[in-house]
Structure 1
Amino acid sequence: MQLHITPNLVQAQTTRQPPPANAKLSSAYGMWTPSQFDTCPKSLHDTYWVYGPDDTVYPTWHPSSDVNPATGQTCTYGHEHGRNPAESRLASWTVPFGYVNEEFARTNSGKTRHEDHVGHKIEFKNDVTVGLPGGGTGPVCQILTKLHQGTHSADAFTNNMHELFYYVSCNNGVQMRWRGMHLFGAAGGFEGTCEGFHNVGTFTPDTSPTLENESLRRIPDKGCLTEAIEQAKQQPYYASDAYYSNYREDWSTGFRHGLYKNGDQYLDHWGQVGFDKGYTKLFNIDSGAYFKVMGPSRYFEPTKPNNLGRRIDMCFIPELAALQGDCINVNNLIKQGIPVTWDHPRSPFKGTYRTVHFDWVTISNNTSNEKWYSNAAGTVIRPQPDASQGITIEQIISRTPFAMYYFGNRESDFNGRGVHAPN
């Protein structure tokens, strides 16, 4: 597969091209359009693409700002996708945004799950001398993840299905390349940071299952606002502590997939409670990774349209306006005549500061087969594809009796020129 991206923007404006006229385009390709704050043309944005495994064109990573070849001037896209995968040692393993969404739609009778473009976020670590259970070090490994992690819309209040890519490769031959729709907690609800579980309502697609897989999305809710205001009234010195610690999002993957056999019967393992691991194991993969976002633009507020409370509105509450640095800066800008709305580039609440806890990865494959095929959610896995059962996504699990490696964390603020919510 050819990766149609380059980190060199000067070179990019002369070498990047749109897809061939006869290329098959995915539903995800061309989804983004500029907002009032974005200065790059849509046509330039759509020159960042890759072929997916299905020989279909998908969008992929691009920088937050670019050089417009029509003017020679720097322009902005208004959103970012994390780290540039071209700088990863796994750059040849392409990152087609929306590929699993597309496969899900093809094999599920029109039950679509098309996620927005801006939520796709990439993180990786190169040349990690991994830790081993009980101490010591193991081989040198590469890891790359891509999660659709929107922190701006009402979508994640109800939809638990989000596209996750998980790539690992080590110099001793251990490899994993997994693409799927990961299921974060219960469909139709989410775990509030301050108030516990919220059962919100309908979700898309309406066939999305709820799996007991140790995963969840923890999103700030109204209780966090109440707590921040109360602390500001009673203990102003500590108000910022509650304000900043509560207003983050945690997406815990509980990433686990495996295939076992009982005689001739296949048994799929996705971390469900009560699964009997005494069956004959073919392969098993799991990880303790989770993804944290600081400064999201939203919180859950059931009195607002679509349950969307905008965090920037907190800066106009008297008890908070003069206590938090972010709010002080926002109000100073407004006093200067700059209308800082929730989606303005000068708003500090856009979810660009993220931490990925790669933590540990376990890979075990006791067969001679390295290629497996799964449905979109990874709840059905077989040695051969079967489109009639939705089993179409190729997964790579190296022949490895057992490996458990620790990768640690990585964090960064990906804020860039012109970036704003939704991001």
Structure 2
Amino acid sequence: MAVVAAAALALGGLVFTDGATPAAAASPPVGIVSIASSVDPVGRLGVKLNCSSKKTCSGTATVRVSGVNSSKARFSVGGRKAKIVRIALSAKQLQSIHDATGGRRSVEVRVQTKKPVKKTVRKSRSVRMIAPLRVTSLDTRVSSAGRVGFTVACVEVRACKGSASLTLGGTAGGRVAVSVPAKKSRSYTAVLNAKQRATLSAAAGGALGARVSVALSAPIKLTVVGSGSVRSAPTPPDPVDPPDPIDPTDPGGGHEHGEDPVYSHAYQNSWRPSEYDTCTQEEHDGYAVTGPDGKLYPGWHPSVHERADGTTCTFGHEHGDDPRRSSIYTWVLQKLREENPEVDGIPFGYTSERLMEYAEANGGGVHRHEDDPGHKVVISNNQAMLRGPYPADQTSFVDEFGQSKNLRCDFLIKIHQGSHSPDATRNNTHELFYAMKCNDGSELVTNKLTNFGDPNELATSCSREFSNSLAAFSGAPLHLETSGSDLPQGEGGERHLPTTGCLAQHMFNGSVGVDSRYPDGPLFNDRNDFMASPDSVDPGWWWAGYEQWQSFNTIRAVDGTLLAQYEPWFGIQNPSRYWDETTGQIAYLNDLAWADGNHQLIPSSIWKEQRSLSPAAPIDRKDPRAYFNGAQRDAWLAKALVKNESGHSTLYIDPWGRNAQATPFTGAIRIHISERDNSALVPTTRPVTANRGGLAGYTREGAERSGPTAPRKIRHLDGSLTNNRFFFNYGIDAQGDDLGIHAPN
């Protein structure tokens, strides 16, 4: 049979050219194993190539973006080997991918092999561009001097440089030089020009659309944009007619809680520095954000604040992951700004504020307020959503083009999880902000009060589900009665907290001896257990002082129809408190370093280190040197059920997640649920405990997450670091330096 030169033969989605016969084309010397899902921070796309020939394969790899130019890179792969080739994309390609809907665009990779034989193979996939710099805030008011402030964050490992310009009401302004160190934020000011001032004046106090465009020159050439709205500054009050004095007995104008309408309860009762903290309250308040109701709320901030003069100070507490590192942070803000364009972050305590209004509008009811340090952000980018305990158990679906894909989701979560006070021993209700966006189209942006079990009880830490062979504790959780809460019953979930009984059984009186699996190892096999809990040998990563909060959440319509369900769990490896059932009060894990028991037999442990600080008496549990500060945490993130057939993606719920409807009402919280039904992919929303501790299940349920801004390490008193496979330590930075965290945190 004659072969036509340059004919193309399509096999299995790949295209071979250069006159190849079917037999020859069936075995190209170079195959495209995979294409990276995203462009790296310096603008390169990784392509993994495999050379099936005995000889070295060489040639050219080209990336094409439809309607834009192409980029090339030469490659050379050893015989019978694989290699990742990184192709630097052009500025036009990067911008095209960045600006695409959803931040993703299809690219084609063409590999032309010249040696050992000439062949061409192609493969396409959708990739995304994660901008190294983001516009995180934009002032909503123009100052009387005609200035507008904005903040940008460099979220990558290299410094970000370029220039920014402000466009106001369609009128462009001058440029401002921008230079932001890696993983830092910087604030800048744009001065309005004459045309912009005229545009602002013509608006007569009305809001104008504003856009900050930052043209980056490093680490890559890319333009990023942040949008909002601004208006002129309010006219200052007449100095001869000052505002009426505030009645000190009723500073809120008659509101039950004495609230200023501009400031939320959470903001007015936010953090105050202790003797261990070096930052001021004013510096903490500087990180406040505007909520959907227009009020100021506490927001995320770094543990260490950098002042304008270059010096630093510490707040003594942390709020988990930097939300700006989330792949969906901008998308989440867009959803929140649909209600109020001035929203500039995730507000802490927003649902509690709405609960006050909802309760008063409905004849009274409970209120719920929580402290500032307990708000913790959890992010996970591009997480594989599995259907079983092993990485191979991928959940797959068929997209609108008939292609099979593995389910992946982005999560941005904020939970209140205080671990220092009696609060969680009796109160089951805590604020949970939950945002999820998956590649099958499932989306959630919700904010509600979640119940971890029932009030006035807790479940002991040693009676929860375990991953391996603690069969004695595989039954129902053991609940202990507490008192003092008037919050409503929960609809599921648990609060597993450490108790005297658990600590006595598994730490003070834990099995003494050598692990039979490692007869030459140290006592109790503390290789992976710095906590030195004797019975933690099996299942290894667990110890009796571990807290696990299991949430259970539903969003229901007025008639009770289920619209969404999700069950993230949150763990704490080093909480400050435990429950003493003999006294009915909390006690502190820090003090156990000075108590007798089998845990003291471990030659190298946290107990030995803590006691060495003060051999005669315990150190203050609030001292930054105290190990038990609640900063080592993990998260269990399973699939969420979305079953919204209401005909509306924007809904309003009460603070408990009920009465979802399309019409707003007093005390309602606006949420987003995509109009779809993913129940075929979500047989359960409950995380799976199987193989959490084994290498086979290392990546499941959020044990390993992309995006967290804390290392998985333990810092010892001598400054040395120990790797920790499961817990992110928010008490130290990436280099292992201490951040001054202490209880309450």
Normalised to the residue count of structure 2, the TM-score between the two structures is: 0.49
Partner of 2:554: 256
1:160 to 419, 428, 438: 428
**1:129-144, aligned counterparts within 5 Å?**
130-131=385-386, 135-136=395-396, 137-138=405-406, 140-144=408-412
Secondary structure of the corresponding residue to residue 25 of structure 1? coil
Where in structure 2 are the equivalents of 1:319-398 lying within 5 Å? 319=597, 320-323=599-602, 325-335=605-615, 340-387=619-666, 390=667, 392-398=668-674
Q: Is the Cα contact below 8 Å between 2:512 and 2:534 reproduced in 1?
A: no
User: How far off is 1:60 after superposition?
Assistant: 0.9
Aligned to 1:176: 444
Distance of 1:65 and 1:2 partners within structure 2: 19
Instruction: Tell me the residue number matched to 1:102.
Output: 353
Cα distance in 2 for residues equivalent to 1:56 and 1:87: 25
Report if aligned partners of 2:651, 2:661 keep a CA contact under 8 Å in 1. Answer: yes
Structure 1 residue 140: Cα displacement:
4.7
> Residue 641 of structure 2: SS of its match in structure 1?
strand
Q: For 1:317, which of 576, 586, 595 is the aligned residue?
A: 595
Distance 1:225 1:139 in 2: 40
Residues 420 and 301 (structure 1 numbering): CA distance in 2 closer, same or farther, change over 3 Å? Answer: same
- Secondary structure at the aligned position of 1:312 is classed as helix
Give, in whole Å, the separation in 2 of the partners of 1:171 and 1:115: 34
Where do 1:16-415 residues align within 5 Å? 24-30=262-268, 31-69=270-308, 72-92=310-330, 93=332, 94-109=345-360, 111-128=366-383, 130-131=385-386, 135-136=395-396, 137-138=405-406, 140-194=408-462, 196-203=478-485, 206=486, 208-211=487-490, 213-232=491-510, 234-235=512-513, 237-238=523-524, 240-242=533-535, 245-259=543-557, 266-268=558-560, 281=561, 284-302=563-581, 307-319=585-597, 320-323=599-602, 325-335=605-615, 340-387=619-666, 390=667, 392-402=668-678, 404=681, 408-409=701-702, 410=705, 411-415=727-731
8 A Cα contact 2:632 2:728, kept in partner = yes
In 2, the alpha carbon distance for the partners of 1:250 and 1:88 equals 24
Structure 1: distance between partners of 2:606 and 2:384:
38
* Structure 1 position 49, deviation (Å): 1.8
Q: Is the 8 A contact 1:373 1:384 kept in 2?
A: yes
Q: Percent identity?
A: 28
Which structure has more RCO (C-alpha within 8 Å, separation ≥ 6)?
Answer: 1
Q: CA RMSD in A?
A: 3.0
Question: Structure 2 vs 1, CA of residues 288 and 13 (structure 1 numbering), >3 Å: closer, same or farther?
Answer: closer
> How many angstroms does 1:234 deviate by?
4.9
Larger-gyration structure (1/2): 2
Q: Which amino acid aligns with 2:431?
A: E
Aligned length: 391
Which residue among 409, 418, 422 is the counterpart of 2:740?
418
Cα shift at 1:235: 4.7
Superposed CA deviations along residues 360-394 of structure 1, whole A, max 9, x for unmatched, are 1121112321111111111332332222xx4x111
| Distance in 2 separating the partners of 1:414 and 1:402 | 34
Classify 1:134/1:419 alpha carbon distance in 2 versus 1 (closer, same or farther; 3 Å): closer
Matched residue type, 2:359: N
CA deviations over 1:112-151 (Å, ceiling 9, x no partner): 2110000001111123354469743445532111100001
CA–CA separation in structure 1 for the residues paired with 2:422 and 2:544: 18
Distance 2:282 2:371 in 1: 18
Q: What amino acid is aligned across from residue 364 of structure 1 in structure 2?
A: K
**Cα displacement (A) at 1:210:** 0.5
SS in 2 for 1:96: coil
What is the TM-score with the length of structure 1 in the denominator?
A: 0.83
Q: Which amino acid aligns with 1:143?
A: F
Would the aligned equivalents of 1:80 and 1:415 in 2 still touch at CA under 8 Å? yes
Residues 58, 3 of structure 1: CA spacing in aligned structure 2 closer, same or farther, 3 A cutoff?
Answer: farther
Report the more deviating stretch, 26-35 or 145-154. Answer: 26-35
Contact 1:314 1:321 in 2 (8 A): no
Distance of aligned partners of 1:256 and 1:315 in 2 relative to their CA distance in 1, 3 Å threshold: same
Cα distance in 1 between the residues matched to 2:186 and 2:678? 46
| Contact 2:427–2:456 (Cα < 8 Å) also in 1 | yes
Alignment check: 8 A CA contact 1:2 1:51 kept: no
Matched residue of 1:394: which SS? strand
